[in-house]
């Protein structure tokens, strides 16, 4: 999974970054899928079917199986994130030639640029009141990558594009922040200890706490997302560099990890999890003879494939209700 993120970054650097025009073909689930009214809801996701689709954003109506494409150019459009009221989407795009953040309406209209073209700007996440958006950026340079050759810090920007603030300043990378529903605490991924682990902190950087503790043999954890009640974090993790990753959750303040998904023959990774608005389901990406979206209950039951067809489908986020 971490390798797949790196490949996306390499492709962004190697291919022309501007929008190339033309409509995307019927890939990435756009032909629709099987209905699952027992699960319901709408899921925003990113899909790559290169070279036909460099990176597009789509919405799956889980109950009906219908899929709507929100982007129609051949720029990279990814890392979509719903606003708390479900009416807007923040996302990363190369449509203007650089890697910047944008906001659009939930139907793909009224696109507005948020960042100024400095550095790489990625992975937005909205504050619970809809006023701020956190994101990863390399905009202030690369003082020390911690030996990883990858450097990002966390920033926040107002939803109208003003008031950018830096939240972390540390060697290595601090990325993939998610707001706790109380609006005061962030969960994020960092390699400051020498491997990727999940941390929490207050917005001013205080009360830093490391929640996972993986060793330096290539294992690690990431992409943490808060449960709707703010008590649990779901995330993906792998025990070694060569093994698959799986979905876990933990209750904040407790040490026990609860494993949700398990090994199957040919499985490469389960990753990028997110909670349904009622906390009853977890959506995630499974790489196993392709890359599709699945849903599962937090106790590991009810595993259900939500998409099929060509394209690598990643970074699913359930629409708030």
CATH code: domain of residue 166: 2.120.10.30
Domain total for the chain? 1
Span 214-256, pLDDT tens digits: 987 788 999 999 999 999 999 999 988 888 899 999 999 998 9
Q: What is the mean pLDDT of the chain?
A: 88
User: Other C-beta atoms within 10 Å of 98: how many?
Assistant: 16
Cα atoms in the 13 Å half-sphere on the side-chain side of 38: 9
DSSP string, 136-197: EE-TT--S--TTSS--BEEEEEETTS---EE----SSBEEEEEE-TTSSEEEEEE-TTSSBE
List the Cα angle 268/199/224 in 5-degree steps. Answer: 40
Which whole number is the average pLDDT over 65-74? 92
* Res 204 pLDDT > 80: yes
Q: Give pLDDT, residue 163.
A: 93
Q: Which domain holds residue 41?
A: 2-318
Measure the CA angle with vertex 63, ends 129 and 304; round to 5°.
100
Kindly compute the dihedral angle of the four CA atoms of residues 271, 275, 280, 286, in this order, to the nearest 10 degrees: -20
144: confidence class by pLDDT, cuts 50, 70, 90: low
Residue 101, both tokens: 């953040």
Cis peptide before 51 (omega within 30 of 0): yes
Residue 22 has pLDDT above 50, yes or no: no
**pLDDT confidence of residue 264:** 80
Which residue bears the tokens 């929490």? Answer: 200
Does residue 4 surpass a pLDDT of 70? no
Name the token pair of 150.
């990858």
Determine the 3-state secondary structure of 4 from DSSP: helix
Contacting residues for 218 by C-beta, under 8 A, at least 6 apart: 195, 238, 240, 241, 242
Q: Give the mean pLDDT of 48-60.
A: 87
More confident of the two residues 217 and 186: 186
C-alpha distances in angstroms, 250 versus 33, 298, 302?
32, 11, 20
**How far is Cα of residue 238 from the mean position of the Cα atoms in its chain?**
17
- Residue among 293, 251, 257, 256 nearest 276 (CA): 293
- pTM of the entire predicted model: 0.89
> Using alpha carbons only, how large is the chain's radius of gyration in Å?
18
């Amino acid at each position: 999974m971490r390798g797949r993120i790196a490949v996306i970054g390499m492709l962004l650097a190697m291919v022309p970054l501007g929008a190339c025009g033309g409509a995307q073909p019927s890939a990435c689930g756009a032909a629709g899928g099987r209905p699952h009214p027992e699960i319901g809801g709408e899921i925003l996701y990113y899909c790559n079917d290169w070279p036909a689709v460099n990176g597009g954003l789509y919405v799956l109506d889980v109950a009906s199986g219908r899929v709507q494409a929100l982007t129609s150019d051949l720029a990279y459009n990814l890392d979509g994130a719903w606003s708390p009221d479900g009416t807007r989407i923040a996302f990363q795009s190369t449509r203007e030639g650089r890697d910047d953040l944008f906001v659009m309406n939930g139907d793909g209209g009224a696109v507005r640029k948020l960042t100024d073209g400095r550095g790489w700007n990625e992975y937005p996440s909205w504050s619970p009141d809809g006023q701020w958006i956190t994101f990863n950026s390399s905009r202030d340079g690369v003082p020390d990558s911690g030996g990883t050759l990858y450097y990002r810090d966390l920033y926040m920007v107002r939803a109208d594009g003003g008031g950018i603030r830096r939240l972390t300043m540390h060697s290595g990378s601090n990325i993939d922040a998610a707001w706790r529903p109380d609006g005061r605490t962030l969960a994020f991924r960092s390699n400051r200890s020498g491997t990727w682990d999940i941390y929490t902190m207050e917005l001013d950087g205080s009360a830093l706490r490391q929640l996972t503790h993986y060793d330096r043999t290539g294992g690690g954890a990431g992409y943490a997302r808060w449960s709707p009640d703010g008590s649990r974090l779901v995330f993906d993790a792998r025990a070694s560099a060569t093994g698959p990753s799986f979905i876990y959750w933990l209750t904040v303040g407790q040490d026990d990890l609860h494993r949700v998904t398990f090994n199957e023959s040919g499985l490469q990774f389960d990753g990028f999890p997110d909670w349904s608005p009622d906390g009853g389901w977890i959506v995630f990406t499974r790489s196993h003879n392709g890359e599709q979206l699945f849903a599962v209950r937090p106790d590991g039951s009810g595993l259900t494939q939500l998409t099929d067809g060509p394209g690598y489908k990643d970074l699913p986020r359930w629409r708030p209700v």
